[in-house]
Structure 1
């Protein structure tokens, strides 16, 4: 899908046109990420970030692979507004969605998959659960709370961010 429109600029000095120029601008150039975002069943924009999904479930590894293959990253809200927008993927379902929280270090859920510290989290009561130093994967529940599951093969919704 390509949206295009033309603009006419006229520089006027003392009610006389000095220079007239016509140019075309594509909508995708005006809204970064727009062309990628329109190809998904679910799209939510928050500030400059888009959350996108085909609303299909998969394992944590499937989710990481799906996003990476498309040059995207697994979704990770950076504030309450983004967390609320991401929660909208659940409309009419009883699903969870995988989050971009590192599960490779035992008992630590403080960085994303690239090792960047989390600047926001919304852990549910008693979370992150880290009994016996087990590893786990983080999901966003329908309630908006984050929770850890040790069943990383569990099918949860795959949501990427642009």
Structure 2
């Protein structure tokens, strides 16, 4: 799973690549043979191929005419510098958040908590609105990472696990069977009445009702 900076950089890069190819991209002046913001009229053929550098090759278009040229080198360099600067700033921000214990990286996942205690449905909704889901440990390393946030706030936390249609059978939010568990001794014992799962401050799990207030920890 990508980090915050990777997500944003990928989106920005995709947007910039699209702007190179589209005839009218907001904020970029009209190019030779391509109608742009300044209203220069373009040829009716398709644009050429995009080289790795981001400039357009003079590949033949639909009507056989050469494709349009790419952005000037100076503009390509400027866009590259913007991306480098953005990556640097996001990296620094991520480092500050990690230093303050607001986020925790483990493998390909990033864990984060807003410190709020809500019921299971509200916790899941807030995580999904942020582009993630409830923290779901799938191995011992991930369980310890979630535990570090639980200990920081000294609050039990809901996990992204729920009881399925069969009593005592728990699954991930997406419906797949668990491949790792950390049940507390004699748990789960709710017998169909406790359909959610919380993490204790020792890292073990307990089945619990879904309407109680527990710490929200999301994973991305």
TM-score (norm 1): 0.71
Give unmatched runs, 5+ long, in structure 2: 6-76
Based on CA coordinates, which of the two structures has the bigger radius of gyration? Answer: 2
Match of 2:122 among 47, 62, 82: 62
Q: How far apart in 2 are the matches of 1:129 and 1:116?
A: 21
Q: How far does residue 94 in structure 1 lie from its aligned partner after superposition?
A: 3.4
The 8 Å contact of residues 107 and 135 in structure 1, kept in 2 or not, is answered as no
Cα RMSD after superposing both structures: 2.9
More strand by share: 1
Taking the TM superposition and a 5 Å limit, the aligned residue runs for 1:1-150 are 24=81, 25=84, 26-27=86-87, 42-131=102-191, 133-150=192-209
Q: How far apart in 1 are the matches of 2:198 and 2:206?
A: 5
Q: How far does residue 109 in structure 1 lie from its aligned partner after superposition?
A: 3.7
Q: How far apart in 2 are the matches of 1:117 and 1:93?
A: 29
Q: 2:213 is matched with which residue?
A: 155
Q: How far does residue 110 in structure 1 lie from its aligned partner after superposition?
A: 3.1
The 8 Å contact of residues 96 and 140 in structure 1, kept in 2 or not, is answered as yes
The 8 Å contact of residues 163 and 170 in structure 2, kept in 1 or not, is answered as no
Q: How far apart in 2 are the matches of 1:85 and 1:55?
A: 16
The 8 Å contact of residues 139 and 146 in structure 1, kept in 2 or not, is answered as yes
The number of aligned residues is 136
Q: How far does residue 48 in structure 1 lie from its aligned partner after superposition?
A: 1.2
Q: 2:62 is matched with which residue?
A: none
Q: How far apart in 2 are the matches of 1:109 and 1:76?
A: 16
TM-score (norm 2): 0.54
